[in-house]
Structure formats: structure tokens, C-alpha cells
């Protein structure tokens, strides 16, 4: 096996991966700087295989974005609007309930609701939304509201994040998605999202959710102004929290799409396939205490997502149906992928498709 790595300059790291040892910051940086994508991918595949064998998970889920009005207006985001902007919207509770009811009986097991920081929306709007979605879709897991939204609700309502989470949990919230993490480095945040909560606060809200027994996800938005060192630092900070709480389910790298954002420049396009595969592989290798590395096909396209199954990925998210955040930023992918297509992609990669719920309970295999 080690022969495969001959002349890659990465033989020592490969040996550590083979032995199941933890990689450090320096290892991560060398992997990220290496041009030997196949060597990096093979290491990640070894780590994936050890945890998951031939199984690849997918989920039948739906996204709802309840408002695009946002006080933060991050420079990488094409979704957020001011209240008076063309295209600004906020769904009424009846509209959200209508969407949830329309998904009834269609086999979905997860609903993913995230939106902007809209100062007009009281905490009651969120509580009522959860109650109505819970009623419309009994048994469906509600994975909703990023740590950024939880922090905002805490601040505007004079509450702690723990208190907001407890109120929302009571109303039906099961789990938090991984959005809003971006890159934890304050240097990066000052440049691309100066109004957003710090990396420490993002981690603190997830730690609070884990303390209440909620499982959550984590992301990293890569391919804008961050350095390779800052990407590795992001992984290490997530790994440290996971060591303490074990509350993260999955990590999802998010490829930056520049179109219609304040970071767009002539000639600038989104990440390359090479970068996408390397980030997914690095996630698998650095986040040794995360079970699941998820490729969000919406961001990187179904074909790279399928290939990523040989680069450390064990989960393809999901059927989705309607997606606004990346499509506003120029994503050219579809907004939905039928189950049959996800299953076909997984089988064509020689793997066993496994439908899961949010908590990775198995719903069907094969
Ligand atoms: O928080 C914003 C990112 C996130 C852009 O937890 C952009 O299972 C690319 O977090 N180009 C929302 N990305 C999506 C998200 C997510 C998606 C799928 C699964 C899960 C999960 C979470 O999208 C935002 C932000 O980090 N984003 N603008 C952009 N122009």
C-alpha cells in the first residue's frame, strides 16, 4: 500500500493514516499544498473505508429559506437583502406551513430551514413556525437555524443562546445545521463578514446545543480570501470541540460561488474540481473524530460529488428540492436530485446506497 505513495513526498503522513494516528497542523498543510491529489485522496479513502466500508448515506430532505432579509449582509452572500431591496421576502407562517404540508407523504425525513437575520421577526415567529412544521410533518426531523441565527435571537431578545435553544427545542427543533461557520479566522471574518459572530461564538453556540443533547453539523466556506493555514486552523478548532462534546454529526465543505456577491470580480469563478476534492479529502483526514463527511452536490455538482466518494466522502446530501442561497450566487446545478438518481450515482461508484435520517439511523439499504 505504501508503494502507492512513493515519490509523493507524503509517505510519512500516509503511514500515520494507515496506522490510524491523528494528523497535526503541519501534516494538514503539507497535504493541502501537495499537487498529488490521488495520494491525498487515497489516504482519505483509507480513513473512510475504515469507518464505513462500502456504505454511502443519502437523505430525503427539503430546504426552506424563510426570509432573505438580513442585517449582516456578508460580502460572500448573494442571498441576503435589505428590506427595501427588489426581491426581498419573508414567508408568512401560513406559507411555511403550506410548504411543509406539500411535502407530506413524500417520504422525507428531514426539513432544513435557515434564513437571514431579520429584525422584524420576533422569537414567536420561530416558535410558531416550528410548531406548525412539527404538526404538518410529524416524525420528520427539524434541522434548522444556524448558530448565527440562534445568537441573533438571543441578542435581540435579551436571552442566552442556551435559553433560545431550549425554547426552540421545546417547540420542535431537533438539530442545528452547519451554516454560518465560514472560516473561523477573525482576519477572514473582518474582510468578508465583519458583522457576523466570531468563530468562537459559533463554536460556543454549537457547544450549547450539544449540552442540550442536540446533534449538529459543521461547515467551512472555502475559496475566497482565506489562506491554506486558515483552512487547517478551522479543522483543528472543530476537532477540538468534537473531542470535548462528540456532538457533531457531519462536516460539509462549501465551495464559494462568487456571482452576484460583493466579492465577485471579472474573470472570477467558483472553485475547481481539484480544490473541491482536496477539501473533502482533507476534511476526512483532519476531522478524524467526525463520522460523516458530506458532499453537498448542489455546490460542487453531482459528478464531482460522485467522484468524491473515492476521496473520503461517505454521504451525499440530499434530495433538497428547492435551494436559494447558492443558486442566488450563480450555482448552475439543479435544485433537486430524485432518490433514484442518488442511488444510481452511488451504485455506479461500486458502493451500497443507504437511506438515513438526520441522526444516521438507517431507513433502507440497497
Ligand atoms: O451559511 C453563503 C454558505 C451556507 C455562499 O448542515 C455560500 O447539513 C457558497 O450551511 N457560495 C448555507 N456558499 C448552506 C449550509 C448547508 C448546506 C447543506 C447542508 C448543510 C448541513 C448546511 O452557505 C451559509 C454560507 O456559509 N454560503 N453564500 C456563496 N456565495
Residues at CB less than 6 angstroms from ligand 1: 76-78, 146, 177-180, 182, 217, 219, 221, 252, 254, 256-257, 261, 296, 317, 325-326, 329
Q: Which atom of ligand 1 is nearest to the CA of 178?
A: 6
Q: Where are the alpha helices (DSSP H) in 179-227?
A: 186-192, 199-211
C-alpha cell at 157: 431578545
For a ligand 1 pocket test, name from 144, 205, 217, 221 the mutation site with the most ligand atoms within 8 angstroms of its C-beta: 221
pLDDT at 266: 85
Sheet with 352-356: list strands edge to edge: 61-64, 110-113, 141-144, 175-176, 215-222, 248-255, 292-296, 315-317, 55-58, 352-356, 362-365
What does the domain layout of the chain look like in residue ranges?
2-365
For residue 261, what is the DSSP state?
A: S
Q: Is 175 in a helix, a strand, or coil?
A: strand
Distances (CA, A) of 46 to 24, 193, 226, 285, 361: 18, 36, 28, 9, 23
* CATH 3.20.20.70 given to domain 2-365: yes
The ligand 1 atom nearest the CA atom of 258: 30
- The answer to whether 155 touches 197, Cβ cutoff 8 Å, is no
pLDDT in tens, the chain (366 residues): 558 898 899 999 999 999 999 999 999 999 999 999 999 999 999 999 999 999 999 999 999 999 999 999 999 999 999 999 999 999 999 999 999 999 998 899 999 999 999 999 999 999 999 999 999 999 999 999 999 999 999 999 999 999 999 999 999 999 999 999 999 999 999 999 999 999 999 999 999 999 999 999 999 999 999 999 999 999 999 999 999 999 999 999 999 999 999 999 888 888 999 999 999 999 999 999 999 999 999 999 999 999 999 999 999 988 877 788 888 888 887 878 889 999 999 999 999 999 999 999 999 998
Question: Residue holding cell 439543479?
Answer: 334
Residue 241 is inside which H or E element, if any? helix 228-245
What one-character DSSP code corresponds to residue 4?
Answer: G
* Closest ligand 1 atom to 330 CA: 30
Residue 85 φ/ψ, nearest 5 degrees:
-70, 150
Amino acid at each position: 500500500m505504501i508503494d502507492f505513495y512513493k515519490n509523493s513526498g507524503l509517505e510519512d503522513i500516509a503511514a500515520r493514516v494507515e496506522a490510524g494516528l491523528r494528523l497535526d497542523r503541519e501534516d494538514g498543510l503539507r497535504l493541502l499544498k501537495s499537487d498529488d491529489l490521488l495520494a491525498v485522496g487515497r489516504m482519505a479513502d483509507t480513513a473512510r473505508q475504515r469507518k464505513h466500508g462500502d456504505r454511502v448515506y443519502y437523505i430525503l430532505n427539503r430546504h426552506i429559506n424563510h426570509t432573505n432579509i438580513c442585517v449582516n449582509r456578508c460580502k460572500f452572500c448573494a442571498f441576503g437583502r435589505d428590506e427595501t431591496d427588489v426581491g426581498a421576502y419573508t414567508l408568512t407562517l401560513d406559507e411555511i406551513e403550506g410548504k411543509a404540508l406539500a411535502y407530506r407523504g413524500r417520504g422525507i425525513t428531514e426539513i432544513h430551514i435557515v434564513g437571514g437575520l431579520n429584525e422584524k421577526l420576533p422569537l414567536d415567529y420561530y416558535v410558531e413556525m416550528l410548531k406548525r412544521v412539527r404538526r404538518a410533518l410529524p416524525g420528520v426531523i427539524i434541522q434548522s437555524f444556524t448558530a448565527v441565527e440562534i445568537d441573533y435571537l438571543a441578542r435581540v431578545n435579551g436571552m442566552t443562546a442556551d435559553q433560545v435553544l431550549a425554547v426552540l427545542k421545546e417547540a420542535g427543533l431537533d438539530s442545528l445545521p452547519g451554516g454560518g461557520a465560514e472560516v473561523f479566522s477573525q482576519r477572514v471574518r473582518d474582510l468578508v463578514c465583519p458583522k457576523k459572530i466570531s468563530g468562537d461564538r459559533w463554536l460556543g453556540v454549537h457547544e450549547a446545543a450539544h449540552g442540550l443533547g442536540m446533534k449538529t453539523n459543521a461547515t467551512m466556506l472555502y475559496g475566497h480570501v482565506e489562506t491554506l493555514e486558515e483552512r487547517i486552523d478551522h479543522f483543528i478548532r472543530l476537532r477540538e470541540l468534537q473531542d470535548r462534546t462528540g456532538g457533531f454529526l457531519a462536516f460539509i465543505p462549501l465551495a464559494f460561488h462568487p456571482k452576484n456577491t460583493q466579492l465577485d470580480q471579472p474573470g472570477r469563478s467558483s472553485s475547481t474540481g481539484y480544490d473541491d476534492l482536496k477539501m473533502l479529502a482533507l476534511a476526512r483526514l483532519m476531522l478524524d473524530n467526525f463520522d460523516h463527511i458530506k458532499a453537498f452536490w448542489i455546490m460542487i455538482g453531482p459528478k464531482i460529488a460522485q467522484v468524491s466518494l473515492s476521496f473520503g466522502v461517505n454521504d451525499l446530501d440530499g434530495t433538497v428540492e428547492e435551494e436559494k442561497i447558492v443558486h442566488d450566487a450563480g450555482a448552475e446545478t439543479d435544485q433537486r436530485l430524485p432518490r433514484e438518481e442518488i442511488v444510481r450515482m452511488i451504485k455506479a461508484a461500486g458502493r451500497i446506497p443507504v437511506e438515513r435520517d438526520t441522526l444516521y439511523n438507517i431507513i433502507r439499504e440497497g
